[in-house]
């Protein structure tokens, strides 16, 4: 006898007054959105130990178990909390929690069992529910996006019956080893049907599964990179030389201005013909040419926007305009495969911090160590992926980008591939800056290059020194012993 599945999922999201119902023969989905008039107070936490960053775990010693229902737990893309799924999930699954979002994308909840999976995630701030059993699945998406940096209440109710259960002859065999993840999940645990998802960035509190409180601090089977909501990772990080501290995925890092470098900018490049002070007063006159191989390490970048240099770009070799001849050499220091995150693409060069907006040129190193070139002259992007797979083999590789109007080519170690951009435009209309090795603002979809770059040449101009850049952040000598 064929089983008949009837699924009911109800979601109450306290946002704006809206109701949506999707129905078919087997399933009924309801999505209700309401205005949240009374804001939830943020909690201030000042006792978080610095050991959190070292262990990448929540320091539960700073939580009081009897007050754990009041605490808001923070997540930052790579974070997650693993707990047991409710034993009666096969009959119904009811979730209630308060959530505050800092980023518009990410996995909020995932229940995995041998029978099915149930996921709640954000896509461009739209709440999405994905339920899958066997080869069948249903997806429900909110009509309006959630507001960032505001507390929302989410309630889900998912009930399922089968004909044999209704007739009293049987039910789903529930898996006692089923797991629920909050805030994210390990990449290898995320079903392929969900695509590539990072965890979400934001806070959760007052979490309930099937009416039972879920203690995300003391009740977890495992937790990674979680912290108290509102925690400032830079509070206990003191960058030297007045360098700025910035937080990325719950980790603080210092933006060390060249010639400083190191975790806290505690080191400085050594110069043979000038002191540190004279370098700062007139960098271009006191550069030690022996430091020509520049080390980049995830949060490093060169920004070229100085008016004198950019004029040379425009008139000599046209970063903006109709032509471009750009070449450099790279050395991979480690395996760049970063599948623990949704994207492992590293920035080699780009023309704008506004990702995929307007005219742009992006040169990237993929998680598979392939060089990718994406160019948009205003009529849509043209993309090239070079077939050469680069390896961290201590060998330097030459990369060249050529553009003549709509014709673009990408060469890796003298092997060239080419394409033509769509439309009729032949100019690359970008005038802000040219970035090498990273960006000044870290983006979730991209990361800075990890390795070394040398022999940077744009047309006839060679950028042989970081002092020629408007900004040179976290740049060190490629051959200096790493800390």
Give the pLDDT of residue 35.
Answer: 33
The per-residue pLDDT for 15 is 42
Judge whether 333 and 343 are in contact, CB under 8 Å: no
Chain Cα centroid distance, residue 175: 33
- Would 6-228 and 240-477 be classified into the same CATH topology? yes
Per-residue tokens: 164: 């044999």
Query: Among the CATH numbers 2.60.120.200, 2.60.120.10, 2.40.10.220, 3.90.245.10, which is that of 6-228?
Result: 2.60.120.200
Tell me the pLDDT tens digit for each residue of 312-345.
Answer: 455 544 566 678 889 999 999 765 444 344 457 8
Predicted pLDDT of residue 455: 93
Query: Among the residues of 41-160, which ranges form H helices?
Result: 51-55
The whole-number pLDDT of residue 171 equals 45
Phi, psi of 188 (to 5 degrees): -75, -15
List the chain domain ranges.
6-228, 240-477
**Token pair in block for residue 124:** 């461009």
Which 3 state secondary structure label does DSSP give 483?
Answer: coil
Residues with pLDDT less than 50, the chain: 1-63, 161-172, 272-290, 312, 316-317, 336-342, 483
Residue 371 has what pLDDT? Answer: 96
Q: What is the pLDDT of residue 254?
A: 94
Residue 208 phi, psi (nearest 5): -130, 135
Cα–Cα distance, 434 to 23 (Å, whole number): 51
Model's pTM, two decimal places?
0.67
Question: Going along 162-230, which residue ranges are E strands?
Answer: 179-182, 201-209, 212-213, 222-224, 227-228
216/166 Cα distance (integer angstroms): 35
The hierarchical CATH code for the domain 240-477 is 2.60.120.200
Cα angle for residues 224, 228, 234 (degrees, 5° grid): 90
**Can you tell me which residue has the tokens 């080869």?**
135
**pLDDT for position 341:** 45
Of the candidates 116, 123, 131, the one whose C-alpha atom is nearest the C-alpha of residue 101 is: 123
φ, ψ (nearest 5 deg) of residue 280: -65, -35
């Amino acid at each position: 006898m064929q089983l008949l599945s009837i699924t009911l999922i109800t979601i109450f999201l306290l946002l704006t007054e809206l109701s949506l119902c999707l129905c078919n023969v087997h399933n009924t989905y309801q999505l209700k959105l309401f205005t949240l008039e009374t804001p939830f107070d943020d909690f201030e936490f000042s006792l978080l130990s610095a050991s959190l960053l070292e262990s990448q775990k929540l320091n539960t010693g700073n939580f009081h178990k009897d007050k754990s229902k009041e605490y808001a737990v923070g997540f930052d893309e790579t974070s997650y909390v693993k707990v047991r799924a409710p034993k009666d999930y096969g009959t119904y699954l009811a979730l209630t929690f308060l959530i505050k979002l800092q980023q518009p994308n990410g996995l909020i909840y995932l229940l995995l069992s041998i029978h099915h999976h149930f996921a709640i995630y954000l896509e461009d701030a739209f709440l999405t529910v994905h339920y899958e059993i066997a080869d069948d699945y249903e997806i429900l998406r909110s009509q309006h996006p959630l507001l960032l940096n505001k507390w929302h209440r989410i309630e889900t109710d998912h009930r399922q019956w089968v004909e044999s259960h209704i007739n009293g002859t049987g039910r789903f065999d529930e898996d006692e080893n089923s797991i629920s993840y909050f805030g994210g999940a390990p990449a290898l645990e995320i079903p392929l049907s969900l695509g590539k998802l990072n965890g979400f960035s934001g806070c959760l509190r007052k979490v309930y599964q099937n009416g039972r409180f879920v203690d995300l601090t003391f009740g977890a089977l495992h937790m990674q990179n979680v912290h108290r909501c509102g925690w400032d990772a830079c509070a206990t990080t003191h960058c030297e030389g007045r360098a700025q501290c910035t937080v990325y995925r719950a980790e603080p890092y210092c933006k060390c201005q060249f010639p400083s470098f190191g975790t806290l900018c505690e080191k400085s490049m050594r110069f043979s013909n000038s002191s540190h002070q004279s370098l700062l007063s007139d960098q271009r006159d006191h550069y030690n040419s022996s430091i020509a191989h520049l080390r980049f390490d995830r949060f490093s970048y060169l920004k070229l926007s100085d008016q004198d240099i950019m004029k040379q770009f425009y008139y000599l070799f046209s970063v903006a305009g109709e032509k471009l001849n750009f070449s450099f050499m790279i050395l991979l220091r480690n395996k760049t495969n970063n599948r623990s995150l949704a994207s492992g693409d590293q920035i080699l060069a780009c023309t704008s911090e506004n990702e995929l907006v307007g005219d742009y040129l992006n040169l990237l190193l993929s998680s598979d160590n392939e060089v990718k070139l994406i160019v948009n002259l205003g009529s849509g992007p043209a993309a090239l992926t070079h077939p050469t797979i680069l390896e961290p083999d201590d060998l330097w590789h030459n990369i060249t980008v050529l553009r003549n109007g709509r014709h673009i080519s990408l060469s890796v170690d003298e092997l060239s591939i080419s394409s033509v951009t769509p439309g009729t435009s032949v100019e690359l209309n970008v005038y802000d800056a040219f970035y090498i090795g990273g960006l000044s603002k870290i983006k979730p979809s991209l990361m800075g290059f990890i390795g070394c770059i040398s022999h940077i040449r744009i047309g006839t101009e060679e950028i042989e020194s970081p002092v020629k850049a408007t900004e040179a952040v976290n740049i060190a000598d490629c051959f200096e012993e790493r800390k």
